Amino acid sequence: MAPLNSFRPRASRSCGNCRAVKRRCDQQTPHCGQCIRMRQECPGYRDKWDLVFRDQTDQTIQRYRKPKIESPAQALPAPARSLSPNADDIGVNYFLRNFVSGQSSSRGCLNYIPSVYREDGEHPTLVASMAAVGLVALANSTQQSDLANLARAKYTEAIRNVNVALTSPVESVKDSTLMSVISLGVFEHVSEHKSWVRHVQGAAALVVARGKGQFTSTATILMFNQVRADLVLACVHNEEPFPKDMIQLQEEAAKHIDASGAFWLLGILGTRCADLLMGVRANTRQVPWPEYLEEATMMEREFQHTALLLATQEPYTVTQNACWAPKLSYNGRVDLYKDTWAIRVWNNLRNLQMIVYEIMLYLLNKILVTDLTLTSAVRQSLELKVQMAMQNLSMLGDDILATIPQALEFLSSASNTPSVDLSFRGSVSGGYILTWCLYMVGKCPATKAETRRWIIQRLQDFGRNMGISIALRLVDDIAKIDQFAA
C-alpha cells in the first residue's frame, strides 16, 4: 500500500524545536538528543495519528469536485482495468477524517480504529474495508461516479479478504477482521438496509466466535459496544429478541470495565429494550398488559437515571438562533456537543427512550380499551400518563433535531456560526449517524405534521445529496404515515 501521506511531502517526525530551526533531529526518547545538547526543553514529538490526519482531505475533495479532466493520463482509470494506485490512500484518508477524527476532535463515531489499525500492522483486509467506506462516502458527497466504482471494487476486495480470513482460526479472531466487518457494515448502511442487517448479524456471530477472552483492551470493548448497539437496532426493526449468547458476552465484558458508566448502562438498557418490545409484540395475553407496563415504567426510570449520568459525563449546550436557515435547523434550535461521539451516544439514548415511551403508549391504550373494570380515578391516571408520554416523545424529538447542524458539520462545537460554503452538502458520516434517528422522530406519533414533512425533506437530502440510499427507503415509511395522518 502506498503511504498515507503520498499527496504531500512526508510530514516531519522531528521534535518541535528541531522543526522550528530545520535541524536534523535524532528522535530519541523521551527527549531529543539535540535539545539535550542545546540545553533546551524538548516539546516532544507529534503523535503518529496526527500525521495521518494531516493528509490533504480538503484538497482531495476539491480535486474531485472539479470538472473531469479530459486527459486520460490525469484521470482515474476505470476500475475494470485496474484500481488507481492511490485508491487506498484516498479512501483511508477520507475514512479517518470523517469517521474517526471528526471535524475538530479526535473522537469521531468510530474513534477506536487507530489502535486496531496500528496494532495489526495496517492489515490489508482492514485497509480495503476502510478504503471502501471512505471512497463511497467521498463519491456520495462529490457525486463522482468514478469514485463510486472504485468504492465498489474495494468493497468486493474487502469482502473477499474477510471471507478468506474467516476460514483461518488465527485470522478470524483478530481485531482487524472484526473491525473490517464493522466497517463493511457502515458501507452497507450507506447503501442498502438488508445487506446492513446481514453484516450486523455477521459481526455479532464473529464477536461470539471470539469468545470471552476477547476483552483485552479498550478498543475491543468499544468494538463490542458498536456491534451490540447495531444489533439492538437490527433486532428492534426486525422484531427479534436480542441473542442470549451476546448477553453472556456482555456479562463477561462488564468484568473488564467500569460498569457504572452511562455509556455501558445505555448498552444494557438497549438489549432489554429490544427484548421488551419483542415480548409485547408477541404477547397474546399470556402476560397481563399491566405487568408489561410496570416493566416499561421501571425501564423509563432507569433511562432517566442514565440520562442524568450522561449529562455529567457528556454535557451539551442548548442554543436558539433565529438566523439559522430553515433547511439547516428546525425552529432555529442548535445544540452544541463536545464532538460527534457525544452526539451519537446522546441520540442512541434518545432513540431507546422513544421506543420505551411508544411501548408505554401502546400498553396504556390497550389497557384503557380492553379493561372495562377500571375505576374513573384509575382511568384518569392512565390518560394522564398517555399525555406525559406524548410530551416526552415530542421533547426527545426536538432534542434529536437540534443535533443535525453539528452532526452534519455545518458548525463545530466551538462556534454556532453556520458554514458559508453553500456547495457543502453535509458530512456523510453525519448522515450515517442521523438517518435512523430522524426515522424514529418522523414515525413518532407525537411528531407534528409540519415537523414530519421537514424530516422527510432532510432524509431525501441524505439520499440524493449524500447517496445514503437507506434514507430513501426509510422516508417512504414516514411518507405513508404522513398520508395516513392527513
- Angle, in degrees to the nearest 10, between helices 244-253 and 262-282: 160
* Mean pLDDT computed over 61-78: 35
* Mean pLDDT computed over 50-69: 38
423 three-state secondary structure: coil
> Between 237 and 402, whose confidence is greater?
402
pLDDT of residue 76: 29
pLDDT of residue 69: 34
Q: What is the average pLDDT score of the chain?
A: 80
pLDDT of residue 1: 35
The grid cell for 136 is 463511497
pLDDT of residue 23: 73
pLDDT of residue 38: 66
pLDDT of residue 232: 92
> Between 356 and 341, whose confidence is greater?
356
Pick from 10-24, 55-69, 357-371, 424-438: least confident: 55-69
Pick from 27-41, 98-112, 168-182: least confident: 98-112
Confidence of residue 111 (pLDDT cuts 50, 70, 90): low
Confidence of residue 115 (pLDDT cuts 50, 70, 90): low
Indicate whether 295 pLDDT > 90: yes
pLDDT of residue 147: 83
pLDDT of residue 481: 87
Torsional class of 122: left (φ above 0), alpha (ψ -120 to 50), beta (otherwise): left
Indicate whether 6 pLDDT > 70: no
The grid cell for 252 is 463477561
Indicate whether 336 pLDDT > 60: yes
Distance between start and end Cα atoms, the chain: 56
The alpha carbon torsion through 306, 311, 317, 322 (nearest 10 deg) reads: 20
How many angstroms separate the CA atoms of 336 and 410, rounded?
12
Confidence of residue 251 (pLDDT cuts 50, 70, 90): very high
pLDDT of residue 326: 80
pLDDT of residue 288: 92
pLDDT tens digits along 441-454: 999 999 999 999 99
pLDDT of residue 468: 82
Contact yes or no for 447/435 (Cβ under 8 A) = no
Indicate whether 375 pLDDT > 50: yes
* Mean pLDDT computed over 200-220: 90
pLDDT of residue 454: 95
Residue 172 has phi, psi (to 5 degrees) of -65, -25
> Between 476 and 43, whose confidence is greater?
476
* Mean pLDDT computed over 405-410: 87
Indicate whether 306 pLDDT > 90: yes
* Mean pLDDT computed over 60-70: 38
The residues that bridge with 317 in the sheet, in sequence order, are 336
pLDDT of residue 423: 52
One-letter identity of residue 130 = M
pLDDT tens digits along 158-196: 999 999 998 998 888 888 898 888 888 888 777 665 677
Pick from 20-29, 216-225, 330-339: least confident: 20-29
- What percent of the chain is predicted at pLDDT more than 70? 79
Confidence of residue 425 (pLDDT cuts 50, 70, 90): low
* Mean pLDDT computed over 288-294: 94
Contact yes or no for 79/156 (Cβ under 8 A) = no
Indicate whether 356 pLDDT > 50: yes
* Mean pLDDT computed over 288-308: 95
pLDDT of residue 192: 60
* Mean pLDDT computed over 209-231: 89
Q: What are the sequence ranges of the domains in the chain?
A: 258-485
pLDDT of residue 402: 95
- From 482, 232, 212, 216, select the one nearest 352 (Cα to Cα): 232
> Between 18 and 473, whose confidence is greater?
473
Contacts 24+ apart (CB under 8 A), 85-88: 85/2, 86/2, 86/6, 86/7, 87/131, 87/135, 87/150, 87/153, 87/154, 88/1, 88/2, 88/127, 88/128, 88/131, 88/154
Confidence of residue 304 (pLDDT cuts 50, 70, 90): very high
The grid cell for 403 is 443535533
pLDDT of residue 48: 40
226 three-state secondary structure: helix
